[in-house]
Amino acid sequence: MQVIAQLKGLEEERFRAIYESLAQDGYGPLDSEVAKALKFRPHMVRKLPMIQRARRARTILLQSGNAELCYELFGGYLMKLHKELVTTFLDETGVPHEEGMIQNIEEARPDGAKVNAAIAKLDESFDPADVTLYLSLCAEQWPDVPEIETAWRMRPDAPAK
């Protein structure tokens, strides 16, 4: 549940920025869940300020512990705004992919020996907070590559264990 741990450590403003970046046509990515929680009709939730919807979405994720939904939210953010971060890591660690999309996740694993060098390269080019966020996804996705979990846990902005 690395992505849930990462979510717990995110400041509200950072989560709101991620949430807003994924909005389409005035709808946030989890607005249907927000509407259900508030007993609103789905289209009525748009009348609430985005900050309120993001706060409620974060609460829903934290209360439910839904790692899959959290993973999708963070992954969507990274693929939409920071695809090069994802593709650079995959390239540097030898994971075959097409534009960041991995065909066979069970067989395509990062080379643990290349993880630290890949992270150092990412830190040179990208916001370290986005690198840490991506590493939480990687740690969730590849629990059998312990170098990823270790590197993620050692980040200054990673959640305390």
**Scanning the structure block, which residue is given the tokens 């974060």?**
58
Question: What is the C-alpha separation between 28 and 50, in angstroms, rounded?
Answer: 8
- Tens of pLDDT along 39-96? 999 889 999 999 999 999 999 999 999 999 999 999 999 999 999 999 999 999 999 9
Predicted local distance difference test score (pLDDT) of residue 48: 92
Question: What is the C-alpha separation between 103 and 22, in angstroms, rounded?
Answer: 24
Question: What is the C-alpha separation between 106 and 101, in angstroms, rounded?
Answer: 13
**Scanning the structure block, which residue is given the tokens 């069970």?**
106
Q: How many CA atoms lie within 13 A of 89 on its CB side?
A: 30
- Average pLDDT score over the chain: 94
Share of the chain above pLDDT 70, in %: 99
- Tens of pLDDT along 21-47? 999 988 899 999 999 999 999 889 999
**Scanning the structure block, which residue is given the tokens 């993620």?**
152
> Do 9 and 157 form a contact (C-beta atoms < 8 A)?
yes
Task: Name the DSSP class of 56.
Answer: H
Report domain extents, the chain. Answer: 2-66, 82-153
Rounded to two decimals, the pTM is 0.92
Phi then psi for 109, rounded to 5 degrees?
Answer: -120, 145
- Tens of pLDDT along 86-124? 999 999 999 999 999 998 887 899 999 999 999 999 999
Predicted local distance difference test score (pLDDT) of residue 161: 63
Predicted local distance difference test score (pLDDT) of residue 43: 85
